[in-house]
């Protein structure tokens, strides 16, 4: 995450089994350069010890209302004044009820009430507790009060039941919190992204595809969401988790991808073609499995429509970003492609270094030349790329 100045968070932990995840969350937040002060309710201390949180944060933990931690005895005021946000993770049903009613009978609820900064809560509870009308009323009240509610997620719960109510994983929370601090230049804007491979059927069980994993496109969708955009992700077959908050349109073939893109291209502000679209499809795929014989088999291939070129040539096109995966002569071929497709921005990478990997290295080509984004994780690169797109997009609007 690129941050102008260090952000400070009070991480409030309340008494639920998911409190164990708070240790990992603390670690991830600190890794992102966020300064964290931990405050725990008494009940939370039964699930995870203040010593653990103190050891990880390197700071004394506030765990009770009456301790002499604050010089002036005003911990509830001091702590909230120093913070850029308060994050309650996990937030139990009981604590959420307290927040909804403005109760302040322990340090953590008091500092929430005394705060002058944003409050984010990550609910964690049994599914019946979550679905209970009282909890739903309280959550609706928090939302109406401007509190940001992160999750919950659904799945197997500590009690053995399955359903909605489990706290988001630490990684998701850390990502949401980092995103919360980022400026949102794409609020109210729609970004359309294609990702993954396409699959062109030969017969009922065989097809032509490629080794694209979809990781780069999905990371870009995540980065675009973090900047406030409405994201439509048209995805070929992948095994990746969907970016939370994106509208994902699943497709298989290039023709289906083209159809989905046509539906959304008209009102999108930015189009990013990351998909490795098959350049050809089989002229006449067989409905039944083709049986082998000793004869040679010839497949007739027809060219697929170029989706990116179609969007870039719309009468009032969105800001179009293309990708080029080359196996050689990246600098030369990529710039040629950018000019040929008339794109304001083209992202080049070497196929053999990118495909399937969690890392990548990108070269951005635009009217002013080329710019290298050195090797890094795909999400980190996606965030840098989105910063670049933001600048170029805003420049193009002027």
Active-site residue, selected from the candidate residues 112, 159, 268, 320 = 159
State yes or no: residue 268 binds ligand CTP (CB under 6 A). no
Shortest distance, position 323 Cβ to ligand CTP, whole Å: 4
How far apart CA 279 and CA 305 sit, in angstroms, is 8
One of 196, 197, 243, 273 touching ligand CTP (CB under 6 A) = 273
Query: What's the rounded Cα separation, in Å, for the pair 140 and 117?
Result: 20
Q: Does 308 bind ligand CTP (CB under 6 A)?
A: yes
Options 50-58, 168-176, 321-329, 384-392: segment touching ligand CTP (CB under 6 A): 321-329
Contacts with ligand CTP by CB under 6 A: the residue count is: 15
Q: What angle do CA 398, 322, 219 make, to 5 degrees?
A: 95
Asked if 282 touches ligand CTP (CB under 6 A), the answer is no
Among 172, 269, 279, 361, binds ligand CTP (CB under 6 A): 279
Tell me which of 35, 128, 269, 306 binds ligand CTP, using CB under 6 A. Answer: 306
Choosing from 208, 325, 363, 385, the residue that interacts with ligand CTP (CB under 6 A) is 325
Distance (Å) of CA 354 to CA 129, 192, 362: 45, 22, 9
Residue by residue, DSSP assigns 337-384 as HHHHTT-SEEEEEEHHHHTT-SEEEEEEEETTEEEEEEEEEHHHHHHH
Is residue 343 a contact residue for ligand CTP (CB under 6 A)? no
* 253 near ligand CTP, judged by CB under 6 A: no
> Among residues 335, 333, 271, 355, which one has the least CA distance to residue 306?
271
**For residue 13, what is the DSSP state?**
E
| Interacting positions 113-172 with ligand CTP (CB under 6 A) | none
Nearer to ligand CTP, 12 or 214 (CB): 214
Yes or no: say if 327 and 295 are a contact pair by the CB < 8 Å rule: no
Judged by beta carbon, residue 203 or residue 279, the one nearer ligand CTP is 279
Where does the chain have alpha helices with state H? 20-31, 50-57, 75-81, 93-101, 107-113, 127-131, 133-144, 170-181, 215-226, 254-265, 307-312, 330-340, 351-354, 378-397
CA–CA gap between residue 350 and residue 376 (Å, rounded): 14
Token pair recorded at residue 209: 């595809």
Per the CB < 8 A criterion, the answer to whether 139 and 129 are in contact is: no
Q: Does 186 bind ligand CTP (CB under 6 A)?
A: no
Q: Residue 201 Cβ, how far from ligand CTP at the closest point, in Å? A: 16
Contacts of ligand CTP in 189-228 (CB under 6 A)? 194
CB of 220 vs ligand CTP, minimal distance in Å = 11
CB of 275 to ligand CTP, least distance (A): 5
**Closer residue to ligand CTP in complex, CB, 181/365:** 365
Q: What is the spatial distance between Cα 229 and Cα 192, in angstroms, rounded to a whole number?
A: 10
CA pseudo-torsion sign 346, 351, 355, 357: negative
Stretch that binds ligand CTP, among 115-123, 125-133, 148-156, 271-279 (CB under 6 A): 271-279
In angstroms, rounded to a whole number, what is the distance separating the alpha carbons of residues 352 and 280? 21
Burial 300-315 (b: 16+ CB within 10 A, else e): eeeebebbbebbbeee
Q: How far is the CB of 308 from ligand CTP (least distance, A)?
A: 3
Structure-token match 């630490």, residue found: 170
Q: What Rg, from alpha-carbon coordinates, does the chain have? A: 25
Between residues 180 and 258, which has the closer beta carbon with respect to ligand CTP?
A: 258
Stretch that binds ligand CTP, among 63-71, 245-253, 302-310, 376-384 (CB under 6 A): 302-310
| Residue 322 in contact with ligand CTP, rule: CB under 6 A | yes
323 part of the interface to ligand CTP, by CB under 6 A: yes
Q: Between 173 and 364, whose beta carbon lies closer to ligand CTP? A: 364
Q: Is 159 a catalytic residue?
A: yes
For residue 218, what are its two tokens? 């999905």
Applying CB under 6 A, the residues found at the interface with ligand CTP are 194, 254, 273, 275, 277, 279, 304, 306-308, 322-325, 337
Q: Which residues are catalytic?
A: 159
């Amino acid at each position: 995450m690129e941050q102008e100045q260090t952000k400070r968070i009070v991480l409030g932990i309340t008494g639920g089994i998911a409190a164990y995840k708070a240790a990992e969350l603390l670690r991830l937040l600190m890794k992102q350069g966020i300064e964290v002060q931990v405050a725990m309710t008494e009940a939370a201390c039964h699930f995870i010890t203040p010593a653990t949180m103190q050891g990880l944060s390197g700071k004394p933990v506030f765990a009770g209302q009456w301790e002499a931690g604050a010089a002036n005895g005003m911990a509830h005021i001091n702590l909230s004044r120093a913070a850029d946000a308060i994050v309650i993770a996990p937030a139990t049903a009981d604590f959420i009820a307290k927040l909804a009613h403005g109760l302040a009978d322990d340090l953590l609820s008091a500092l929430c009430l005394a705060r002058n900064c944003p409050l984010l809560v990550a609910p964690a509870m049994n599914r019946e507790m979550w679905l209970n009308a009282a909890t739903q009323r309280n959550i609706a009240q928090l939302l109406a009060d401007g509190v940001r509610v992160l999750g919950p997620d659904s799945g197997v719960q500590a009690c053995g039941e399955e359903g909605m109510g489990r706290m988001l994983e630490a990684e998701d929370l850390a990502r949401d919190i980092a995103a919360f601090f980022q400026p949102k230049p794409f609020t109210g804007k729609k970004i359309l992204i294609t990702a993954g491979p396409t699959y062109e059927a030969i017969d009922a069980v065989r097809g032509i595809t490629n080794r694209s994993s979809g990781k780069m496109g999905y990371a870009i969708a995540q980065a675009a969401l973090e900047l406030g955009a409405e994201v439509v992700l048209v995805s070929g077959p992948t095994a990746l988790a969907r970016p939370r908050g994106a509208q994902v349109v699943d497709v298989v073939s290039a023709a289906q991808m083209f159809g989905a893109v046509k539906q959304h291209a008209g009102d999108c502000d930015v189009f990013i073609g990351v998909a490795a679209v098959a350049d050809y499809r089989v002229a006449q795929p067989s409905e039944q499995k083709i049986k082998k014989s000793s004869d040679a088999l010839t497949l007739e291939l027809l060219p697929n429509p170029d989706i990116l070129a179609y969007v870039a040539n719309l009468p009032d096109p969105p800001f179009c970003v293309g990708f080029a995966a080359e196996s050689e002569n990246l600098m030369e071929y990529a710039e040629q492609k950018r000019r040929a497709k008339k794109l304001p921005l083209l992202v080049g990478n070497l196929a053999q270094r990118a495909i399937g990997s969690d890392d990548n290295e990108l070269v951005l080509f635009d009217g002013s030349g080329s710019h290298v984004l050195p090797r890094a994780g795909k999400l980190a690169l996606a965030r840098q790329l989105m910063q670049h797109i933001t600048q170029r997009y805003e420049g193009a609007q002027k």
